[in-house]
Amino acid sequence: MTTHDDTASGARDGAGRGTVNRRSFLAAAGAAATTTALAGCIGGGSDTPTLNVITWEHYARDDVVEAVESAVDVNLEITKSTSSADMFSGWQSGQDEQYDIAVPNNNYVPRFAEAGLVEPAPLDDLDNYPNIYEKFQEFTDGQLSVDGTPYGVPIRFGFYGYGYDSRDVPEHEESWSVLFEGVDGVDLNGKVALYDNHFKAMTAAALHLGYNDAFEGDRITLSESQLEKVKSVLVDQKQSLLSSYIAGDASFVKGIKKGDFHVGHSGRMNLTNMWIDGNDWVEMATPKEGSMSWFEAAVVSKQTDHSDLAWEVIDEYIAPESGATLAREGHAPSVNPQTSEHLSERRNELYGSIDPSRLDGMIPFKAVENEDAWRSVWEEVKTA
Q: CA-CA distance, 238 to 134, in Å (whole number)?
A: 40
What is the CA angle 330-129-8, rounded to 5? Answer: 25
Other Cβ atoms within 10 Å of 116 Cβ, number: 10
- The helix/strand/coil state of 244 is strand
Query: Any residues with CB less than 8 A from the CB of 366 and at least 6 apart, and which?
Result: 106, 107, 143, 215, 217, 218, 219, 220
Nearest approach, Cβ of 231 to other proteins (angstroms)? 11
Note whether 383 binds other proteins by CB under 8 A. yes
Q: Which of 131, 221, 232, 244 binds other proteins (CB under 8 A)?
A: 244
Q: Rounded CA gap, 131 and 135, in Å?
A: 11
Q: Does 85 bind other proteins (CB under 8 A)?
A: yes
State whether residue 285 is helix, strand or coil. strand
User: 370: which DSSP letter?
Assistant: T
Binding mask 133-172 for other proteins (x = CB under 8 A): ----------------------------------------
- Asked if residue 17 binds other proteins (CB under 8 A), the reply is yes
Shortest CB 102 distance to other proteins, Å: 12
The reply on whether position 246 binds other proteins by CB under 8 A is yes
Q: Which stretch binds other proteins (CB under 8 A): 14-22, 67-75, 130-138, 161-169?
A: 14-22
* Torsion angle (degrees, nearest 10) of CA 275, 281, 284, 288: 160
If one asks whether residue 114 binds other proteins (CB under 8 A), the answer comes out as yes
Q: How far, CA to CA in Å, does 181 sit from each of 27, 63, 236, 264, 282?
A: 53, 43, 10, 13, 20
Tell me how far, at minimum, the Cβ of 60 lies from other proteins, in Å: 9
Query: How far is residue 323's CA from residue 333's CA, in Å, rounded to a whole number?
Result: 9
Measured from the CB atom, is 12 or 135 closer to other proteins?
A: 12
Q: CB–CB of 353/372 below 8 Å?
A: no
Per CB under 8 A, 115 contacts other proteins = yes
Strand, helix or coil at 356?
helix
Backbone angles phi, psi at 220, to 5 degrees: -85, 125
* Binder among 49, 69, 92, 337 for other proteins (CB under 8 A): 92
Amino acid at 327: A
CB of 378 to other proteins, least distance (A): 8
Does residue 89 touch other proteins according to CB under 8 A? yes
Give, as one character, the DSSP assignment of residue 121.
P
Stretch near other proteins under the rule CB under 8 A, chosen from 62-70, 225-233, 238-246, 292-300: 238-246
For other proteins, the closer CB: 19 or 166: 19
CA distance linking residue 375 with residue 48, whole number of Å? 43
By beta-carbon proximity to other proteins, the closer residue of 10 and 161 is: 10
Q: Give yes or no for residue 249 binding other proteins (CB under 8 A).
A: yes
Q: CB 332 → other proteins: shortest distance, Å?
A: 15
Site string for other proteins, 270-309 (x = CB under 8 A): ----------------------------------------
Segment (H or E) for 256: helix 249-258
Q: Which residues would be at the binding site for other proteins (CB under 8 A)?
A: 14-25, 28-33, 35, 52, 57, 79-80, 82-83, 85-86, 88-89, 92-95, 97-99, 111, 114-116, 190, 196, 238, 242-251, 253-255, 257-260, 371-372, 375-376, 379-380, 382-383
